[in-house]
Amino acid sequence: MSLSGKTAVVTGSTSGIGLAIARALAAEGADVVINSFSDTKADHAIAEEIGKAFSVNARYIQADMSKGDQCRKLIEDAGACDILVNNAGIQHVAPIDEFPVEKWDAIIAINMSSAFHTTAAALPMMRKAGWGRVINVASAHGLRASPYKSAYVTAKHGILGMTKTVALETAKESITANAICPGYVLTPLVEAQIPDTAKEYNMSEDRVIEEVILLKQPSKQFATVEQIGGIATFLCSPAADQITGTSISVDGGWTAA
């Protein structure tokens, strides 16, 4: 498979899952636009490294994904968007009656509404090109709920509904819309939290991974960012031409029950 000549825009992609997806798509020849809100020299350096590593055009474009107009401008500034990966997300944990309103608003805006805005801006480009892929990074929490994560669970359930709607609206075109639903993924952020969590529970790191962090993940193994990247590239392949409006779980069996 070659994605040469395609442009992929990946939101929230200077680290973790988003960065792995951007690199995976670049490895298949796609030009990539990576994004965050920070706009630092390090952000631009990441894009430069991807471009050199895979001999593609890689750019960094700053956009605050909590702002609808900036979400749309990100797509406009990209100039083309054959593959849209909506990955940007944040988290906050609190009981619903104590959940800060500003945190609720931010999570809904970044985790869900941003995908509406980017998709609305990208679909005309995909239609003009005659081909497109919308890939929404949802979560096992798009299929299952957990306490104290009301905004995150709501947003991820909403993303799955939006994915289905986009798929139906584009069903007769060469455009697909699908969601990836990871469970716990070994990102740099999660990896950095393991020692502190082990201290908090007075457990070894191996034990805290199995009994606390991966409590709901039957495989007792983290998914890797590379695995998520591989699924994204598969969804852009000809083998996935008739896969649309669905979600692919990468959760070690979490949602099987």
In a domain, 2, yes or no: no
Would you say residue 32 lies in a domain? Answer: yes
156 and 205 within one domain? no
The predicted pLDDT at position 257 comes to 79
pLDDT at 6: 98
> Is there a single domain that holds both residue 157 and residue 217?
no
Let me know whether 89 and 212 are in one domain.
no
Within this chain, do residues 190 and 233 fall inside the same structural domain, yes or no?
Answer: no
Q: How many CA atoms lie within 13 A of 158 on its CB side?
A: 17
Domain range for 240 is: 7-185+223-250
For residues 98 and 207, state if they share a domain.
no
Question: Model-level pTM greater than 0.85?
Answer: yes
Q: Please check whether residues 165 and 199 belong to one and the same domain.
A: no
**155 and 211 part of one domain:** no
R_g of the chain, CA atoms, integer Å? 18
Q: Is 1 a member of any domain?
A: no
The CATH number for 41's domain is 3.40.50.720
| Residue 133 in this model has a pLDDT that exceeds 90 | yes
- Per residue in 4-44, pLDDT tens? 999 999 999 999 999 999 999 999 999 999 999 999 999 99
Whether 257 is covered by a domain: the verdict is: no
Residues 230 and 217 in one domain: no
Torsions phi, psi of 178, nearest 5? -140, 165
How many folded domains does the chain comprise? 2
* DSSP assignment letter at 15: S
Residue 242's CB: how many other CB atoms inside 10 A?
7
Q: 106 and 194 in one domain?
A: no
Q: How many beta carbons lie within 10 A of that of residue 108, not counting itself?
A: 17
Q: Check whether residue 127 and residue 203 sit in a common domain.
A: no
Residue 173 domain flag: yes
- Residue 85 three-state SS: strand
Band (1; pLDDT cuts 50, 70, 90): confident
Tell whether 68 and 191 lie within a shared domain: no
Q: Would the pLDDT of 144 be above 80?
A: yes
| 70 part of a folded domain | yes
Q: What is the pLDDT of residues 152-178, one digit of tens each?
A: 999 999 999 999 999 999 999 999 999
With tokens 């509904």, the residue in question is 161
Question: Could you tell me if 12 and 47 lie in one domain?
Answer: yes
Judge whether residue 106 has pLDDT over 80: yes
Query: Is 184 noted as a catalytic residue in this protein?
Result: no
Given 148, 152, 184, 201, which residue is catalytic?
152
